[in-house]
Amino acid sequence: MDIVIANESHIKYASVISETISESAKVRGTGIAKRTPEYIIKRLVNGNAVIALDGDRFAGFCYIEVWGHQKFVANSGLIVHPDYRNQGLAKKIKKAIFDLSRKKFPDAKIFGITTGLAVMKMNYELGYKPVTFSELTDDPEFWKGCQTCKNFDILTRTERKMCLCTGMLYDPASSALDKRKMNSTAFQRLKSIKEQLLLKKKKA
């Protein structure tokens, strides 16, 4: 299985990606915005997507969208073909698109909205935190992408304050702070262990 950054050579997979997203929405009965082949092609050729391939067979896909003058990026359209589900592929694709986002847009906040518990868990493991929709991009073009979702009426009725989706955000600034805190805690723990060992040595 190869997970690679998409390019023009992958345009031939646009239709199957679009169909897989649509079929997944029907089967799960949850809110997944539809994506046309034309929409997918744009993401395939701009270097802001990853695609998983088993030889020449399409296995999975995810893409990056850029909002608010690169202040925000979204990892969207995560999908795995039915033939390759329950094998841990979604997690690998999610990690690949997250790493690509961090490399191309190191200062951007990475966000997503999802109804899927599995995606929420993957996001959490990558450092995302649940947030209110007001903490996400206010770019109207992003929210227009929800129009093809079956739950769009909920979003409009609440004036974009809430929906069945959960908003999740990775903030590189706060994540760096959390890491420093974690390193500090680890240091204090090691220091305490070392002091205890020295104390035992003196008593001996």
Please write the tens of the pLDDT for every residue from 51-61.
999 999 999 99
Q: Is domain 2-170 given the CATH code 3.40.50.1000 in the classification?
A: no
Q: How far apart are CA 157 and CA 118, in angstroms?
A: 27
Closest CA to 35 of 119, 112, 155, 148: 148
The answer on pLDDT for 180 being more than 50 is no
- Confidence tier at 143 by pLDDT (50, 70, 90): confident
Closest CA to 151 of 24, 31, 29: 31
Hey, CA dihedral for 124, 90, 152, 110, is it positive or negative? Answer: positive
- Give the global pTM: 0.75
Closest CA to 41 of 56, 67, 66, 61: 61
Please write the tens of the pLDDT for every residue from 4-42.
999 999 999 999 999 998 888 676 555 566 789 999 999
Closest CA to 10 of 33, 44, 50, 60: 44
- Confidence tier at 200 by pLDDT (50, 70, 90): low
Residues with Cβ within 8 Å of residue 87, at least 6 apart in sequence:
none
Lowest mean pLDDT among 76-85, 121-130, 168-177: 168-177
Tell me which DSSP letter residue 145 carries: T
- On whether the CB atoms of residues 71 and 171 are closer than 8 A, the answer is no
Q: How far apart are CA 21 and CA 8, in angstroms?
A: 20
Q: Tell me, what's the pLDDT at 196?
A: 61
β-pairing verdict for 72-80 and 109-114 = parallel
Q: How far apart are CA 13 and CA 66, in angstroms?
A: 22
